[in-house]
Structure 1
Amino acid sequence: MTIHTTNYVNTFIEAPENFPHTAAGIPPERKQKTIARKQYELLFHHPYQFTSDEILYTTTAKHKGITEEAFFAKGKPCFRASPLVKQYGWGVHFNQDGKMAIYPIESPKYQQFRENSDLKHIQAMRLRK
């Protein structure tokens, strides 16, 4: 069985070019946590501890009892499609080990990653108008 991965190495995913705000938002707290809120909590409180595959599996499939092997047997959208990036304006940096951290669009660190030519740069999927 082929296992598909969403992991990146030495990469920065930027907020979409049509992101309408100048600052990142925090996904709202709700009784039933959204995927964006789950991703935010894991990545904000545990930077560089998880890969993209680990975050996506934990926030979308683990609680349903789906095995990792079954979850990644089919291709999955990568973090370019994450609501945390698309709708809330967070950039995602993947280090040399494929571990990730998030940075708000208005932060100096976001700008440093955005200008770092040693990183592969990927634009998040555009917001629908």
Structure 2
Amino acid sequence: MNQKQMFLELFKTHKLKNYRKTMVGFGSLLWRIVRHTDKDIYAYGFKDFILGEYRVLYSGNNKLKILTPLVISIIGIVLNMFWIPFVVITYIPYSYFEGAKNWITDSGWIDNVRLFNWVNLILVVALTITLIIKW
């Protein structure tokens, strides 16, 4: 598959429906427009590249003409451009505080608790060394 075919596959639209045909719609790798036929609700979503799932941009009884596939794709790409660096920057602090929460609640030895314990151990050693050097 050459690059042109891969690029065209990104924007290829396909039909969406579930087994009981209660949800029907259209979608691609960047966006989804779905109609829940039982409740008569429309949902417009875009792909979140970090979690690999579709986020709902709008959900309601009215069909919006302004949310075309092109607009949804652009909104999704712009939001992912800001969301990906935010997740990368906040991953280590989030893991540290998540480990602190898990250490307090159940003291399970999982990855975030290990990070919490190792960071605390390194901080204690570094502060002890600086205290000895200053003394």
TM-score band, normalised by the shorter chain? Answer: under 0.3
Larger Rg: 2
Could you state the TM-score of these two structures normalised by the residue count of structure 1?
0.24
Relative to its length, the structure with more helix (as a share) is 2
Could you state the TM-score of these two structures normalised by the residue count of structure 2?
0.23
